[in-house]
């Protein structure tokens, strides 16, 4: 063999893995790796990682019997408070005041605020999710709806995170393949399609999703306990806990530098935190994984699939109605979405906020501190609230 052939043979290759997990490939990879090293399941857990974790945020979908366990219904009094709060914001700050100045003081909710504070406790110190039902969507202009959404949510988490490089703190989640087909590089995120979104987490503490419109069919929202997924992997494949807590190469899809490195799994201050989005390791659609960055390993590919399939196994499906706001602890829970079909009258359209409650927040794992600081550092006057759907962008203008 020539020197050139030797060097070529030693270059690491990206495993045969795609955005959509393949159960057959996953099982074959697991069988192959265990055949190569049967002692993998006998490896001790990394120091500091417990055999299992417990608490109200560690659950299985089968633990929940009825949506009344997680749905909080707004009363007529609450809805009247919300209307008065809109008027208060518009008259006290002026019609031209940036929406970034919406907070608990400029959007007062005399009785609902205390209830939302209790529900914020549920996010950080309870089961990690709830649904607020329901905002009368058709009653408001698009700007008023943004005020309502941001105002109500400010009583859950006062910190709003930037969702792209243009300081947009509001993001529209819907099928944009027709309206934004001209985007350079194409759509590289399943959120902007009708495709299934596999289990993942968003960055930041809390995710809020307001349903402006539901789909004609499909699009079920699913959540899963990261602690429950951790417990299963720690019990059956402790070697993969080592893999998950070590650094992974995350594709930045045109960013500078082209990739970053950090763990997927953290044990911080007694909380198991899983933080990742699968497409950063596999690419999605037209946004393929960059060929000039380090590939993930076979062990990482196995761990990535295992995360998804256990999350799927123990997940809970949420009935997401028009006007609902779904709040999720993104540090403690994973979430996904089924594929869906739109029609002329029903085109699924969600609006997202990334929130943080500084009084209740978990300690941010050190490798995530820089990202979290950047996320929640947009001053009110710089916060942008796109009222119509758009593609998220980096500061360079590249699509995310």
Q: Report the alpha-carbon angle 198-200-203, nearest 5.
A: 145
The DSSP line for 307-333 is HHHHHHHT-EEE---TT-EEEEETTTE
First to last CA, the chain: 43
**Contact status, residue 376 vs residue 161, Cβ threshold 8 Å:** yes
- Mean pLDDT for 242-255 is 95
Q: What is the mean pLDDT of residues 237-252?
A: 97
Let me know: does 315 contact 61? Beta carbons within 8 Å: yes
Contact 211, 319 (CB under 8 A): no
pLDDT single digits (tens) 186-208: 677 888 899 999 999 999 999 99
Which of these, 203, 278, 292, lies nearest to 248 by C-alpha position? 278
This prediction has a pTM of 0.93
Closest alpha carbon to 245 in 233, 254, 236, 258: 233
Q: What is the mean pLDDT of the chain?
A: 93
Tens of pLDDT, residues 124-159 = 999 999 999 999 999 999 999 999 999 999 999 999
- The more confident residue out of 400 and 297 is 297
Residue 254 has pLDDT above 90, yes or no: no
Is the preceding omega at residue 134 within 30 degrees of 0, hence cis? yes
For residue 171, name the pLDDT band (cuts at 50, 70, 90): very high
Q: Which two tokens stand for residue 7?
A: 């060097």
Check the CA dihedral 268-273-275-278 and report its sign.
positive
pLDDT at position 92 is 78
Q: Please give the full DSSP string across 153-201, using - where no structure is assigned.
A: HHTT-SEE---STT-B--EEEE--TTTTTT-TT----GGGSSSPEEEE-
Q: What's the pLDDT at 285? A: 87
Mean pLDDT computed over 251-274: 95
Give pLDDT, residue 273: 98
The predicted structure's pLDDT at residue 177: 84
């Amino acid at each position: 063999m020539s020197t050139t052939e030797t060097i070529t043979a030693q270059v690491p290759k990206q495993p045969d893995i795609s955005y959509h997990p393949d159960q057959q490939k996953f099982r074959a990879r697991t069988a192959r790796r265990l055949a190569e090293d049967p002692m993998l399941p006998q490896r001790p857990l990394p120091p500091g990682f417990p055999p299992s974790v417990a608490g109200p945020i560690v659950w299985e979908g089968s633990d929940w019997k009825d949506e009344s366990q997680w749905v909080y219904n707004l009363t007529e009094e609450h809805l009247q408070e919300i209307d008065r709060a809109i008027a208060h914001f518009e008259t006290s700050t002026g019609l031209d005041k940036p929406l970034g100045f919406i907070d608990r003081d400029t959007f007062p909710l005399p009785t609902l605020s205390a209830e939302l504070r209790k529900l914020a406790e549920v996010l950080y110190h309870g089961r990690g999710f709830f649904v607020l039902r329901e905002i009368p969507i058709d009653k408001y202009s698009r700007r008023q709806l943004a005020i309502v959404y941001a105002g109500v949510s400010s009583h859950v988490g006062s910190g709003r995170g930037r969702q792209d490089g243009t300081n947009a703190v509001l993001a529209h989640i819907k099928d944009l393949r027709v309206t934004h087909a001209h985007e350079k590089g194409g759509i590289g995120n399943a959120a902007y399609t009708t495709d299934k979104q596999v289990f993942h987490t968003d960055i930041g503490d809390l995710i809020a999703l307001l349903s402006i419109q539901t789909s004609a069919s499909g699009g079920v929202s699913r959540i899963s306990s990261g602690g429950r997924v951790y417990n299963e992997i720690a019990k059956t494949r402790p070697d993969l806990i080592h893999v998950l807590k070590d650094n992974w190469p995350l594709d930045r899809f045109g960013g500078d530098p082209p990739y970053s490195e950090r763990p997927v799994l953290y044990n911080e201050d007694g909380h198991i935190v899983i933080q990742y989005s699968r497409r950063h390791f596999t690419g999605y659609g037209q946004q393929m994984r960059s060929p000039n960055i380090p590939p993930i390993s076979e062990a990482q590919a196995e761990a990535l699939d295992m995360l998804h399939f256990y999350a799927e196994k123990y997940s809970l499906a949420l009935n997401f109605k028009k006007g609902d706001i779904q709040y999720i602890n993104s540090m403690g829970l994973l979430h996904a979405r089924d594929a869906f079909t739109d029609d002329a009258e029903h085109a699924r359209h969600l609006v997202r906020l990334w929130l943080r409650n500084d009084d209740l927040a978990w300690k941010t794992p050190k490798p995530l501190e820089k990202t979290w600081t950047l996320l929640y550092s947009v001053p009110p006057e710089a916060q942008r609230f796109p009222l119509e759907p758009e593609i998220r962008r980096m500061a360079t203008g590249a699509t995310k």
